[in-house]
Amino acid sequence: MRLRSIQRAPTGIALCITLEKNEKFNEALDSLRRKLPHRYRSLLHRSNATPNAVELPRLESRDFVGTVLKAIFEQLEVDTTAEAPDERARKARVAQRAWQRTQGDWVSIRGLYEDFEVALRSAKGKRRVLTPEVLRRVFPDWEEAAT
């Protein structure tokens, strides 16, 4: 309220709520409202706020691999050109493990990105590839498949 009076203009607040499986937006908003101190609960009351829900649904596996994981590797400048059969197999296993870890959850995807970023940091300026060492930093139980 103080910010609104200082700005003398309409003010908005963006709230991010993680929906549990099968939870409805209104249920999550009510749960959040109950967690707030009483004096702030009115801010989330329908008469004072107009919650416009923008839901980011969990991704499907193919969308995750084909779009999100690809974008992560592009952003981190990872060389994903897999020419040798063992490299193609590794790339497929990485995609499978990344999906198992995140299950399309956006918060988990952010954590995965950060883990790849840290693991690849030493390769700055060099060809950045998904070596077994890098993959063990991201997936601690990573083992190379027997060839």
- What is the mean pLDDT of the segment spanning 28-40? 82
pLDDT of 125 reads: 65
Helix axes 106-120 and 85-102, enclosed angle (nearest 10): 140
What is the C-alpha to C-alpha distance for residues 1 and 49, in angstroms, rounded to an integer? Answer: 12
pLDDT of 69 reads: 94
- What is the mean pLDDT of the segment spanning 87-116? 91
What is the C-alpha to C-alpha distance for residues 135 and 139, in angstroms, rounded to an integer? Answer: 6
Is the pLDDT at 57 greater than 90, yes or no? Answer: no
- What is the mean pLDDT of the segment spanning 60-86? 87
- What is the mean pLDDT of the segment spanning 58-75? 90
Average pLDDT value for the chain: 81
This prediction has a pTM of: 0.65
CA dihedral 45, 49, 50, 55 (to 10 degrees): -80
What is the C-alpha to C-alpha distance for residues 83 and 92, in angstroms, rounded to an integer? Answer: 13
What percentage of the chain carries pLDDT values higher than 90? 33
What percentage of the chain carries pLDDT values higher than 70? 74
